A and B are shown apart, each in its own frame.
Chain A
Amino acid sequence: MLYTALSTLFSHWRHHTGQLAALVMGLALATALWSGVQAINAEARDSYAEAAATLGQDRLSRLTGPNGGDVPLADYIALRRSGYLVSPVISGELRLGEARLRLLGIDPLTAPPEADPPALQDETLDLAAFFTNPGLILMTEETAGGPLPPGLPEIVISDTIPPSAAITDIGTASRLLGQTDPSYLLIAPSQPVGLPPLALATDLHLQPPDSAADIGRLTDSFHLNLTAFGLLSFAVGLFIVHAAIGLAFEQRRATVRTLRALGLPLRTILISFGVELAGLALFSGLIGLILGYAIAAALMPGVAGTLRGLYGAQIPGTLGFDPIWALSALGMTLAGAALAGAQALRRTAALPLLAPANPRAWATASGRAMRRQALVALLLFGAAIGLALWGGSLLSGFATLAALLVGAALILPATLGLILRLASKSVAGALGQWLFADTRQQLPGLSLALMALLLALAANIGVSTMVGSFRGTFVGWLDQRLAAELYVTVADSDEALRLRAFLGDRVDAILPIASVERPLAGRPGEVFGQADHPTFRENWPLLQAQPNAWDDLAAGEGVLINEQLARFADLDLGDALTLAPALTLPIVGVYSDYGNPAAQAILGLNRFTDMFPDAPQTRFALRLPPADVAGLATALREDFGLPTEAVVNQTQIKRFSLQVFEQTFRITGALNVLTLGVAAFALLTSLLTLAGMRLPQLAPVWALGLTRAQLARFELARSLILAALTFVLALPVGLCLAWVLLAVVNVEAFGWRLPMSIFPADWLRLFLLALGAAALAAALPAWRLARMPPTTLLKVFAHER
């Protein structure tokens, strides 16, 4: 009996292959975008976890200096002499120009077995050479092939090291980083019996094991952002599925009624629909998985670049395959199909045996439903406003976005209906009146596709406004921040001295760039020493400052902090900030510091040198007349002997920074385009499915004196009108979206707030794109109508007899 029901119902698809294709494509696209994003997220998170595990950071407690700083060597020695099993680690970053290498120096002799990196367990590794000067350094082949700082010992290739990172002996790391104190001490899980607890034996700070590495936390917002986009795309895809399933169910109402009249139980029919839906979902899900993998693989290099540029997180640019990912994506497809089909199943279950089979019931949803939707939308808008004003977290920021977008989508049909009603009343001509009135009548059938289009357009406007605002601010900020003409890096202090002598009076000013990594307000951070010079006083991008900020800074009596530190730690002007155990200073200014995830503080150079005498001063900003830049750069390379990458001019740095910036938002742009494509596809499928049902309304108009070509042009015009109106309504939604992104999500995720700019030229481009998408979607049904034989139109009159 089930087979009979199933085969009867399934025969519908043989005559509606386009509808079947729309259903399969909708589910496949929804699955593809969702699973693609999930694959990227999973790959990145695996990389973070692998990095943490490889470097032994995630399984052991550790001791750090007060405020999270370095551990004084004497403290380490004292603990070892007392019998405690602790192992020193020196961690830091080597930089030269664009080359960055995260270095981890370990002591294999004292390291607990749990922290022993797998790379050191390789039997072919010459451990004696590893321990002794000049030592060995372990990294992946990819890292070794990239730009590397000079002065590294012999490189040994190991596949178990994270990208752009290296492991070496602690002595080698100490020499390369110019650091004698351990960054932290790893604590063996089992300590000798009889010793008092470590917490009582030392003033050092005890940190418990942390399975979620810092970088994982930092990048959470980025992955949440991607997930939100994936979910949006999935929802847009489900609109297509919902439309296709709804139509198919409605078209089979007569069949269902007949089957039931012939004695087939409703339960069997519902099971048949369920089996059919599950089968289609699995088939489409498999296609979606393949597409999703392809999308993820294509986007992965961009994502890797983004994470590197924005957070300094290192993940490979390639993609692995995880069966769990595939299964969860298929599960999501099944759940999505069930969600999209639930309404149709419910309607079938509630269908009275003698109900008339009305194939247009699906398309003629009542105005009451629209009004209900509008009411829910207003409630959601209220919730969005409340969340934006009083939410105060990243999650509430995304909840604001969700409420705003869903509300806008729900209120769209009612708003369009109102506009079209007014338009049909205000136009004079019969055809114009008919066009608007008929368009209004098509709204229920097209509303899902138009909602999808609205979501895609609003997301596009919102994100491009956010990115554009960011770009404008960022470029202005770069101009301020990179005021010096030339930036030079030398190998060590001796070379720095020689450089100063070499430069002599060839430059107007030599401004050292000195920094140390220090925790700030309990977060990983960096403290810079800055010389007192008009370059900074005149250009530095201060968001707020006390009247004598620069004087206080120069005198070592105040500190500047970046915006993200001020926001995260809730610090304000005048608040005290501890930079080192013996150094707490008031905050005299807050500066913008876009693109940097970490906390940062600036100290007057003299005070900095006093407090951190070991901090290498190997980087310099040089002020000189712009006309002399090229000559000096050549002289530094050819006469002084600096490597090419050690001399970088301002233009190069700006170009590199902008490249990082563009890379950062490439993934977002790609997802935007994909979402818009899916929305256009939703519109196409809706128009195609409606086209067949429209004939009874179009045939009389044709019979009354219009040509088929005229009708086709009207059909095209109808799509353009709807797309244009949808765009007009998407514009304020997109701008609200941008505001939430800039004023709520960015602040919570990155710690900086940006002024919002508007880009009418971008809107115009998107408007034309939306019209183009609508025209493309309507082109096929319109072309079919224009070429339709009169006999097909005449069948409308014959069929109804």
Chain B
Amino acid sequence: MDSLLVIENLTKAYGPIDVLKGVSLTLDAGQTLALTGESGSGKSTLLHLIGALDQPDGGSVMLDGVDLAGLDDTGRARIRRDRIGLVFQQFNLIPSLTVSSNIAFQARLSGRHDPEHCAMLARRLGIDALVTRYPEELSGGQQQRVAIARALANRPALILADEPTGNLDEATGDAVLDLLLDLVRETGAALMMVTHSTRLAARLDRRLHLSRGSLTAAAQGA
């Protein structure tokens, strides 16, 4: 089976600092992968390159057979819109829209809005009573559930989560992660999650460790 995501020899530098030094990895559809590493190791940069949010200096990122490095701004936007679900540590909901509009936003952008699917996600995430509220009226845990629903509403092939529980207390974080993993498995999407926590990382199918821009030798083979 072809891998959903194939990264080969990826490099990225910000000025004189080499953030990624030839990273290679693969991720199959339906797989979950935890990416750990110390602060400044390049985890978020790698996630941004996979999410078509930034362009690499070298190497390639193939998502579903499409080389992201070869896309222009419009092409990268289309990939983000259609194929990727993003979950940020700070939730990054759109403050001017209600919860239901936030959940449906990306799906509507890509023309794949399914109100029943959105309603199911809200129900599963326990936020169906909050759909008319605005983000500022929600707690952190509730906001992150909305963000997860938004990421999944589009039925993306790949979910990228950057420290999704980093801003939540341990109990809430665990609950949110449970829901995320359940829903990812149910929808068949692949998940790549950046985290500092080895405890949380252990709950995913695979674990990679990034250190100073390179995946460790043991992890490379994982």
Whether A704 touches B105, Cβ cut-off 8 Å, given contacts A794-B53, A797-B90, A801-B90, is yes
Q: Closest CB-CB distance, A569 to chain B, in whole Å?
A: 61
The answer, yes or no, to whether A700 is at the interface (CB within 8 Å) is: yes
- Whether A707 contacts B77 in the complex (CB less than 8 A), given A438-B94, A440-B96, A791-B54, comes out as yes
Complex CA distance for A705 and B48, rounded to whole angstroms: 13
Within 8 A of A (CB), among B95-111: 95-97, 101, 104-106, 108-110
A703 within 8 A of B: yes
Q: Which residues of A contact B53 (CB under 8 A)?
A: 703, 790, 793-794
Select the residue from B51, B53, B55 with max chain A CB neighbours within 10 A. B53
Count of chain A residues near B, Cβ 8 A: 32
- Whether a CB of chain B sits under 8 angstroms from the CB of A17 is no
Segment touching B, from A56-64, A425-433, A766-774: A425-433
Given A431-B109, A705-B81, A437 and B14 contact (CB-CB distance below 8 Å)? no
A-B contact pairs, 22 of them (CB 8 A): A430-B109, A437-B96, A438-B96, A696-B92, A697-B95, A700-B88, A700-B93, A700-B94, A703-B53, A704-B86, A704-B106, A705-B82, A705-B109, A707-B74, A707-B76, A790-B54, A790-B55, A794-B44, A794-B48, A794-B53, A800-B90, A800-B92
- Decide if the interface of chain A is mainly helix, strand, loop or mixed: helix
Cβ of A705 and Cβ of B90 under 8 Å apart? no
Given contacts A431-B109, A433-B97, A801-B166, 16 further A-B contacts (CB under 8 A): A430-B101, A430-B104, A430-B109, A434-B97, A437-B96, A702-B77, A703-B51, A704-B80, A705-B81, A705-B106, A706-B81, A710-B77, A793-B53, A794-B44, A797-B92, A800-B90
Interface string of A493-519 (1 = CB under 8 A from B): 000000000000000000000000000
- Give the contact-size bracket for chain B: 35 or more
Least CB distance from A416 to B in Å reads 14
CB of A441 within 8 A of CB of B109, answer no
* Interface positions of B (Cβ within 8 A of A): 14, 44, 48, 51, 53-55, 73-74, 76-78, 80-82, 86, 88-90, 92-97, 101, 104-106, 108-110, 113, 150, 162-163, 166
> What per-residue 1/0 map shows which CB atoms of A675-703 lie under 8 Å from chain B?
00000000000000000000011011111
Are A704's CB and B96's CB within 8 A?
no
Within the complex, the shortest CB–CB distance from B51 to chain A, in Å, comes to 7
- Complex: A437 Cα to B95 Cα, angstroms: 9
Q: Which residues of A contact B110 (CB under 8 A)?
A: 705
Q: Are B92 and A703 in contact (CB under 8 A)?
A: yes
A798: interface (CB < 8 Å): yes
Shortest distance from the beta carbon of B222 to any chain A beta carbon, whole Å: 26
Residues of B near A697 (CB, < 8 A) are 94-96
Does chain B have a CB within 8 A of A709? yes
- Asked whether, in the complex, the Cβ of B162 is within 8 Å of the Cβ of A706, the reply is no
Interface members, chain A 523-554 (any B CB < 8 Å): none
A434 touches B94 (CB 8 A): yes
Residue contact A705 to B97, C-beta cutoff 8 Å: no
Task: Report B-chain residues with C-beta under 8 Å of the C-beta of A794.
Answer: 44, 48, 53-54
Q: Which of A437, A699, A710 contacts B92 (CB 8 A)?
A: A699
Query: Are B94 and A705 within 8 A (Cβ)?
Result: no
Of the candidates A438, A440, A696, A703, which one forms a contact with B86 in the assembled complex, judged by CB atoms under 8 Å apart? A703
Residues of A near B44 (CB, < 8 A) are 794, 797-798
Judge if A619 is at the interface, Cβ distance under 8 Å: no
Find the A residue at minimum CB distance from B74: A707
Mark A403-439 against chain B: 1 for CB-CB distance below 8 A, else 0. 0000000000000000000000000011101100110
CB distance A705 to B77 under 8 Å?
A: yes
* Interchain nearest-CB distance for B169 vs A (Å): 17
A507 to B: closest C-beta gap in Å: 78
How far is A790 from B77 in the complex, measured between Cα atoms in Å? Answer: 12
Nearest CB on B from A388, distance (A): 40
